[in-house]
Amino acid sequence: MKTIQSIQEFEQILAGHEAVLIYFSTENCSVCTVLKPKISEMISEEFPKMKMFFAESDQLPELAAHNRIFTAPTVVVFFAGRETIRKSRAFGIDELKNEIQRPYSWMFGDP
Protein backbone atom coordinates (compact mmCIF):
# COMPACT_ATOMS: atom_id res chain seq x y z
CA MET A 1 0.00 0.00 0.00
CA LYS A 2 1.51 3.29 -1.12
CA THR A 3 1.57 6.32 1.17
CA ILE A 4 0.23 9.58 -0.27
CA GLN A 5 2.75 12.42 0.00
CA SER A 6 0.75 15.47 -1.13
CA ILE A 7 -2.66 16.82 -2.09
CA GLN A 8 -1.49 16.89 -5.71
CA GLU A 9 -0.66 13.18 -5.57
CA PHE A 10 -4.08 12.54 -4.00
CA GLU A 11 -5.79 14.37 -6.88
CA GLN A 12 -3.75 12.38 -9.43
CA ILE A 13 -4.73 9.12 -7.74
CA LEU A 14 -8.43 9.96 -7.95
CA ALA A 15 -8.09 11.03 -11.58
CA GLY A 16 -6.10 7.93 -12.52
CA HIS A 17 -8.16 5.15 -10.93
CA GLU A 18 -11.84 4.25 -11.11
CA ALA A 19 -12.06 2.79 -7.60
CA VAL A 20 -9.87 3.98 -4.71
CA LEU A 21 -9.83 3.38 -0.97
CA ILE A 22 -7.84 5.85 1.13
CA TYR A 23 -6.95 4.74 4.66
CA PHE A 24 -6.35 7.76 6.91
CA SER A 25 -4.43 7.06 10.09
CA THR A 26 -2.18 8.68 12.68
CA GLU A 27 1.11 7.53 14.11
CA ASN A 28 -0.27 6.83 17.61
CA CYS A 29 -3.45 5.02 16.56
CA SER A 30 -3.29 1.44 17.84
CA VAL A 31 -6.64 0.51 16.26
CA CYS A 32 -5.28 1.73 12.91
CA THR A 33 -2.31 -0.61 13.14
CA VAL A 34 -4.57 -3.63 13.67
CA LEU A 35 -7.22 -2.67 11.10
CA LYS A 36 -4.95 -1.62 8.22
CA PRO A 37 -3.69 -5.11 7.20
CA LYS A 38 -7.19 -6.57 7.51
CA ILE A 39 -8.64 -3.95 5.16
CA SER A 40 -5.71 -4.36 2.78
CA GLU A 41 -6.28 -8.12 2.64
CA MET A 42 -10.03 -7.69 2.12
CA ILE A 43 -9.49 -5.25 -0.76
CA SER A 44 -6.92 -7.44 -2.52
CA GLU A 45 -9.07 -10.59 -2.18
CA GLU A 46 -12.57 -9.21 -2.73
CA PHE A 47 -12.05 -6.09 -4.87
CA PRO A 48 -8.93 -6.61 -7.02
CA LYS A 49 -9.67 -3.66 -9.33
CA MET A 50 -9.78 -1.22 -6.41
CA LYS A 51 -6.56 0.60 -5.48
CA MET A 52 -5.73 1.23 -1.82
CA PHE A 53 -3.59 4.08 -0.51
CA PHE A 54 -2.49 5.17 2.95
CA ALA A 55 -2.51 8.73 4.29
CA GLU A 56 -0.93 9.79 7.58
CA SER A 57 -3.17 12.56 8.89
CA ASP A 58 -0.62 13.83 11.40
CA GLN A 59 2.14 13.97 8.76
CA LEU A 60 -0.02 15.55 6.07
CA PRO A 61 -2.66 17.62 7.93
CA GLU A 62 -3.57 19.61 4.82
CA LEU A 63 -4.74 16.40 3.10
CA ALA A 64 -6.74 15.43 6.18
CA ALA A 65 -8.34 18.89 6.26
CA HIS A 66 -9.02 18.75 2.50
CA ASN A 67 -10.98 15.52 3.10
CA ARG A 68 -12.61 16.57 6.40
CA ILE A 69 -10.84 13.86 8.40
CA PHE A 70 -11.26 14.44 12.14
CA THR A 71 -10.51 11.02 13.65
CA ALA A 72 -8.47 7.90 13.00
CA PRO A 73 -8.92 5.51 11.47
CA THR A 74 -11.05 6.87 8.67
CA VAL A 75 -11.60 5.02 5.41
CA VAL A 76 -12.88 6.94 2.40
CA VAL A 77 -13.88 5.07 -0.76
CA PHE A 78 -14.08 6.85 -4.10
CA PHE A 79 -15.73 5.58 -7.27
CA ALA A 80 -15.11 7.60 -10.44
CA GLY A 81 -13.45 10.32 -8.37
CA ARG A 82 -16.45 10.85 -6.09
CA GLU A 83 -16.63 10.00 -2.41
CA THR A 84 -19.04 7.11 -2.03
CA ILE A 85 -18.34 5.58 1.39
CA ARG A 86 -16.85 6.98 4.60
CA LYS A 87 -16.20 4.97 7.75
CA SER A 88 -14.58 6.35 10.90
CA ARG A 89 -13.35 4.99 14.20
CA ALA A 90 -15.49 1.92 15.03
CA PHE A 91 -16.58 -0.14 12.04
CA GLY A 92 -16.29 -3.76 10.96
CA ILE A 93 -14.56 -5.29 7.96
CA ASP A 94 -17.76 -7.09 6.91
CA GLU A 95 -19.73 -3.85 7.13
CA LEU A 96 -17.19 -2.08 4.89
CA LYS A 97 -17.11 -5.02 2.46
CA ASN A 98 -20.90 -5.04 2.14
CA GLU A 99 -21.01 -1.31 1.42
CA ILE A 100 -18.29 -1.52 -1.23
CA GLN A 101 -19.82 -4.54 -3.00
CA ARG A 102 -22.75 -2.82 -4.69
CA PRO A 103 -21.00 0.19 -6.31
CA TYR A 104 -18.00 -2.01 -7.15
CA SER A 105 -20.19 -4.50 -9.04
CA TRP A 106 -21.99 -1.65 -10.84
CA MET A 107 -18.68 -0.22 -11.96
CA PHE A 108 -16.86 -3.42 -12.88
CA GLY A 109 -19.68 -5.89 -13.47
CA ASP A 110 -18.22 -8.36 -11.00
CA PRO A 111 -20.55 -10.42 -8.81
Domain boundaries, the chain: 2-108
Peptide bond into 73 cis (omega under 30): yes
DSSP, collapsed to helix, strand or coil, labels residue 23 as: strand
Over 90: is that where the pLDDT of 107 sits?
yes
At 56 the pLDDT is 94
| CATH architecture designation of domain 2-108 | 3-Layer(aba) Sandwich (3.40)
DSSP string, 32-80: HHHHHHHHHHHHHHH-TT-EEEEEETTT-HHHHHHTT--SSSEEEEEET
Residue-wise pLDDT for 27-74, tens only, equals 998 888 899 999 999 999 999 999 999 999 999 999 999 999 999 999
Rounded-to-integer distance, Cα 100 and Cα 85, Å: 8
Phi, psi values for residue 5, rounded to 5°: -105, -15
